[in-house]
Amino acid sequence: MAKEHGEKLIANNKKAYHDYFIEDKFEAGIVLHGTEVKSLRQGHCSIKEAFISIDKGEVFIQHMHINPYEKGNIFNKDPLRTRKLLLHKSEINKLSGRIKEKGYTIVPLRVYFSGSLAKIEIALAKGKKLYDKRESIAKKDQQREAQREFKIRNLG
C-alpha cells in the first residue's frame, strides 16, 4: 500500500490500462457500511472483476469484492453487493451520454482513502482491439529494454 499526496492506496486495476484506452477520469465517493470501511482500512479489496453501471441517473459499482471484516460477525454485508457511487449530476450526465456511443464503458481504476473518506477513481474508457494490446506490449518491452541498457551503460 503506497502513500502519496495524503492518499492511501487500497486496490489498483492495472488490467484496465491494458484492456482500455483511458479517456477521462473521475473521483467518486463510495456508499459503504461500517464493517466494510474497517475491512478497506486493512486493505481487503479487489476491483479486478468490477464494472460500473448507470441506472435511473445513479451510478453503481458491481462485483467489487470487499472481504468481510473478521470481527464484524452479524454486521458484515455481502462481499459482492452492489454499491452506490457518489458523483455530481453533471458528471453522471456526461458519463451516461458517452457510454451510449459504441465502444465506450466505465471502468474502476483504483480505490483509496483521501483523508478519512473512501474514494474510487473511475474512468471513461474505450476498449482496445487485439492489435492495440500487442502494440502496447511491444512498447513496454522497448521501454524495459532501454532502461536495462541505460543501467548497464551507467554502471560500467
CATH class of 3-128: mainly beta
- Looking only at the bridges linking them, the beta strands covering 7-12 and 104-114 are antiparallel
pTM (two decimals): 0.73
Per-domain boundaries in the chain: 3-128
**Contact by Cβ (8 Å): 125, 23:** yes
- From first to last of its 156 residues, the chain has per-residue pLDDT tens of 455 557 888 888 888 887 888 888 999 898 887 788 888 888 888 888 888 888 888 889 888 888 887 776 766 676 778 888 888 998 888 888 888 888 788 889 988 988 888 889 988 888 777 777 788 888 888 888 888 888 777 776
